[in-house]
């Protein structure tokens, strides 16, 4: 009888954790989107004293560094969960390195996001800018989801790799729709 009661007690906790892991990230993404749509863009907005093409170049470089960190983060995550072929078990120092690199990637995203939201808001004027803008909003929602999933012991085992994979995919899409376009000479704006 105790086993059934314990199972019933865990189910609501798992449900609340699951709802929180879905609703809070969605609220963050929708909140960033709403702010970006209501905010009046200031196309003269700079970053670290840079303006115009120089600020776009800086953001492209920061975004590329963030993309590189995301790839390292992905590889370390695969190694920690023994999904990296031929790598064997990850040493204990890989776990803190994974966290530190994730933190650095997040910190790199902040000045980029700050300048983008101030200068452009959520721009839906063409498909590339729309994908970039919407993915930027989703990126922070996915980041919140990953933090919640990492902290929860109540969610299914597939939730962490799904959140981590979605985060890397969002960063890659952001990089592709802005930094790569800039370096290729295809995008005059963000």
Q: Domain map of the chain by residue range?
A: 2-183
Q: How does 64-86 read in b/e, with b if 16+ C-beta sit within 10 Å?
A: bebbebbebbbbbbbbbeeeeee
In the prediction, which pLDDT does 157 show? 86
Q: In this prediction, what percent of the chain has a pLDDT beyond 90? A: 69
Nearest to 190 by CA among 53, 67, 32: 53
What is the pTM (predicted TM-score) of this model? 0.85
Question: Which pLDDT band, with edges at 50, 70 and 90, does 19 fall under?
Answer: confident
In the prediction, which pLDDT does 10 show? 54
Q: What is the radius of gyration, based on Cα positions, of the chain?
A: 19
């Amino acid at each position: 009888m105790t086993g059934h009661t314990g199972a019933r007690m865990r189910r609501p906790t798992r449900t609340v954790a699951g709802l929180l892991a879905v609703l809070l990230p969605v609220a963050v993404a929708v909140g960033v989107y709403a702010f970006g749509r209501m905010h009046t863009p200031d196309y003269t907005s700079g970053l670290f004293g840079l303006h115009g093409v120089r600020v776009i170049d800086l953001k492209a470089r920061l975004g590329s560094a963030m993309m590189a960190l995301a790839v390292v983060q992905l590889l370390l995550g695969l190694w920690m969960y023994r999904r990296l072929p031929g790598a064997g078990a990850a040493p204990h120092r890989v776990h803190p390195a994974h966290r530190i690199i994730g933190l650095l990637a997040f910190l790199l995203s902040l000045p980029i996001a700050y300048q983008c939201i101030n200068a452009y808001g959520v721009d839906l004027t063409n498909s590339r800018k729309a994908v970039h803008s919407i993915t930027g909003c989703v990126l922070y929602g996915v980041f919140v989801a990953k933090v919640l999933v990492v902290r929860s012991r109540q969610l299914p085992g597939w939730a962490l790799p799904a959140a981590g994979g979605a985060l890397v995919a969002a960063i890659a899409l952001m990089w592709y729709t802005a930094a790569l376009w800039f370096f290729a000479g295809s995008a005059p704006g963000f």
